[in-house]
Amino acid sequence: MPTIIIQEEIKKFLREENGLRQDFDTIQVLHNNPDFAFIPKILFGTNNLVQYLKFNIKTYNNEIISHDEFADLNSVNVYIPNTPINNILRETYGIFEYQHFTTQLLRVLLMHNSLKKEAIYAHFEKNAFHLIIFQQQKLVFFNRFMFETEMDMLYYLLFSLEQYEIDTETIPIYLLGDIIRNSDKYRVIYNYIRYIYFLPPQKNNPFCQNMDTTLARQNFILTHSF
């Protein structure tokens, strides 16, 4: 669908959706796309933003490049936000904050694993998943993989774990996002990793208390962003 049509549909939705036609105290926007890269803080420089993303994007058309910092990880998330969407939101609401989806994803995982114990996390979307690995009290791996079949997904998962010599008999994997226990994705992972868990919501999270379990898992990052 052409970009201009998408923008018009968004404007129409913002005009007609009653829940969005009000004054908000704060607005936080998460941009979810594959155009991101985590960079060690020591190697980061604002003059090199394009270079950090050259392996993650097919073409660069002078888009705005933003970055989010992680003081406790000494790393920076460099990414391309959706500028047309930001412009529409700015016209509609005025001031708002935005960051990349993976920034908030990592912050949520750090709430669960503040000591950065050795663990694997996999956040699933319809045809993609984010894989995050903590090892030796460090974030050692963060990537997003597109897949068409469950076996594609399994290959990316196991190959990545092999590179870091992850013992799948002892190191747990935590799942969140668009995945349920009675699914092919879950079954193929279960066949190769002994300890597999669904990431539990924070206790007393007001957004999850009356929400269907599957829906809460699918929207885990959104429900833990405020």
For the stretch 1-20, pLDDT in tens is: 667 888 899 999 999 998 88
- For 93, the enclosing helix (H) or strand (E) is helix 83-93
Q: Identify the pLDDT of residue 1.
A: 65
* Positive/negative CA dihedral, 106, 109, 114, 118: negative
Pair of tokens at residue 127: 């045809």
Q: Identify the pLDDT of residue 224.
A: 84
Pair of tokens at residue 47: 């003059």
Q: Identify the pLDDT of residue 109.
A: 95
Q: Identify the pLDDT of residue 62.
A: 80
Rounded to whole angstroms, how far apart are CA atoms 35 and 59? 11
Q: Identify the pLDDT of residue 55.
A: 83
Q: Identify the pLDDT of residue 63.
A: 86
Rounded to whole angstroms, how far apart are CA atoms 116 and 138? 6
User: Which residue numbers in the chain have pLDDT < 70?
Assistant: 1-2, 59
pTM (2 d.p.): 0.91
Beta strands in 34-87 (DSSP E): 36-40, 66-70, 75-79
Phi, psi for 196 (deg, rounded to 5)? -125, 130
Contacts of 25 (CB under 8 A, 6+ apart): none
Which residue shows structure tokens 């868990």?
Answer: 197
Q: Identify the pLDDT of residue 185.
A: 97
* 91 φψ region: left (φ > 0), alpha (ψ -120 to 50), beta (else): alpha
CA-to-CA separations, 153 to 67, 91, 125, 189, in angstroms, rounded: 28, 40, 11, 9
Phi, psi for 218 (deg, rounded to 5)? -65, -30
Contacts of 11 (CB under 8 A, 6+ apart): 88, 92
Contacts of 216 (CB under 8 A, 6+ apart): 201, 207, 208, 223
